[in-house]
Amino acid sequence: MSHTADVVIVGAGIIGGSIAFHLLERDPRLRIVMLEKEAEPGTGATSKATGGVRFQFSTEANVRLTQLSYRYFTHSEAVLGSPVDFLRHGYLFVTTEAATLEQCRRNVALQRGLGVPSELLTPGAIQDHLDCLVTRDLVGGSFCPDDGSADPYSMLRAFLARARGRGLRLLTDHPVVGLVREGERVTGARTPHGDWSAPLVIDCAGPYADQIGAMADVSIPSKPYRRQVMVTEPLPILPEVFPLIVDLDSGFYVHRQGRSAVLMGGTDKDIKPGLDTEVDWDAFDTVFRAAAVRCRPWRRPRSCGPTRGCAISRRTTTASSAPRRRRRACTWRAASPGTASCMRPPSAS
């Protein structure tokens, strides 16, 4: 069976939701159909995002994109009709390398030229942002107080609610298995439930965007990378609000999600692209080693491992179970989908 629409959107994640919202805001008469392969919208990469919002980029295009979208976070209730839990806690980038600091200097100059209140910091000024941060080996860093974080799923729900109120038709369990073409032009999408014809088909498939493009013989230079995030219970050594801290040398980052959790990761940048969703528990040893270098209470940490039933959030997927395996320092416990809780932080040996 064949159906028609003005626009077909492939993927019901944050990208597809935003596009549907903006198209219908511009023209509510559009007949837009969104095809999602999962049973619920936003259960792909969107549900694994850590929610960072920042101005501190090295290119003008990325800085301007944040400037264009910033009001959706700061004024979400007025713009989208619901809160997205945005918190301005700032991003703090730190480094021990003079060359990296020079790049920070160039980045800050670009950002300030575009009206962003970022600044270079000395090690002493960096220390003021988090008392337990180890700064004696740092040469400096950069900070922007307007950077922060929000809840990606809340934003997606807000986009979709507004778009559905204007006529968006969202079809879940509708994977796109092929594209309809007339010559070199894409004129629709195929699903197991029938074809959809439309003069405009928009690829918003996230980690699968290159696969959708390949259906039209288009090579999209976008590849998925697995990024693991360790989520712990709040640690008493960390205040309730502090900047999202990124060690530019190791990639390690740490930030607190309100009163509920602490997120750590960023040390797994050397993996190859792909859709592998297996949890690499050993990789979290690297996270703790990086944390020990940069945070004083975590000096000389011991390694951790999971017990059955734990899960860890990643940017490509979520694992709900893992083989039983214990190590000495942390006692892991089952947590809600997408998280794993370490009942106590690693202690000095």
Per-residue pLDDT band at 277 (split at 50, 70, 90): confident
Residue 292: Cβ within 10 Å count: 19
| 87-88 sheet: strands from edge to edge | 52-53, 148-149, 87-88
Amino acid 323: pLDDT: 31
Alpha-carbon distances of 205 from 104, 201, 208, rounded to whole Å: 33, 12, 5
Q: Per-residue confidence at 298, pLDDT binned at 50, 70, 90? A: low
Query: What is the reported pLDDT for 229?
Result: 84
- Main-chain dihedrals φ then ψ at residue 274, nearest 5 degrees: 160, 175
Phi-psi region of 278 (alpha: psi -120 to 50; beta: other; left: phi over 0): beta
Q: Which of 293, 249, 277, 242 is nearest to 263 (CA)?
A: 242
What pLDDT is attached to residue 96?
97
For the ranges 36-50, 108-122, 260-274, the one whose mean pLDDT is highest: 108-122
d(CA 138, CA 51): 27
Length of the chain, in residues: 349
Neighbour count for residue 313 (Cβ, 10 Å):
24
Least confident of 73-82, 116-125, 142-151, 300-309: 300-309
Mean pLDDT of 319-341: 31
Q: Is residue 333 pLDDT above 80, yes or no?
A: no
Structure tokens at 54: 């920042």
Residue 147 has pLDDT above 60, yes or no: yes
Could you tell me whether strands 32-35 and 7-10 are parallel, antiparallel, or unpaired per DSSP bridges? parallel
Strands 140-144 and 119-121: antiparallel
- One-letter amino acid at 213 equals G
Measured in degrees and rounded to the nearest 5, phi and psi for residue 108 equal -65, -40
Identify whether the C-beta of residue 16 lies closer than 8 Å to the C-beta of residue 209. Answer: no
> Would you state the pLDDT for residue 349?
30
| Cβ–Cβ under 8 Å, residues 42 and 157 | yes
Burial class of residue 285, CB neighbours in 10 A (0-12, 13-18, 19+): middle
DSSP string, 40-109: STT-SGGGG---EE----SSHHHHHHHHHHHHHHHTHHHHTSS----EE--EEEEES-HHHHHHHHHHHH
Closest residue by Cα to residue 92 from 126, 57, 48: 126
Report the DSSP beta bridge partners of residue 194. Answer: 191
Paired residues of 76 in beta bridges: none
Segment among 69-73, 98-102, 147-151, 227-231 with least mean pLDDT: 227-231
First to last CA, the chain: 66
Of 219, 129, 208, 133, give the one whose Cα is nearest residue 176.
208
pTM of the full structure: 0.82
Which residues touch 177 (CB under 8 Å, ≥6 apart)?
Answer: 190, 191, 192
What's the pLDDT at 345?
Answer: 34
* Predicted confidence band of residue 76 (pLDDT cuts 50, 70, 90): very high
Q: Which domains does the chain have, with CATH numbers?
A: 2-51+151-214 (3.50.50.60), 88-148+225-302 (3.30.9.10)
| pLDDT band per the 50, 70, 90 thresholds, residue 260 | confident
Contact predicate 255/147, CB 8 Å: no
DSSP for 198-249, please give it. -SEEEE--GGGHHHHHHTTT----------EEEEEPPPTTS-SS--EEEETT
Q: How far is the CA of 282 from the CAs of 228, 327, 339, in angstroms?
A: 11, 11, 17
What percent of the chain shows pLDDT beyond 70? 84
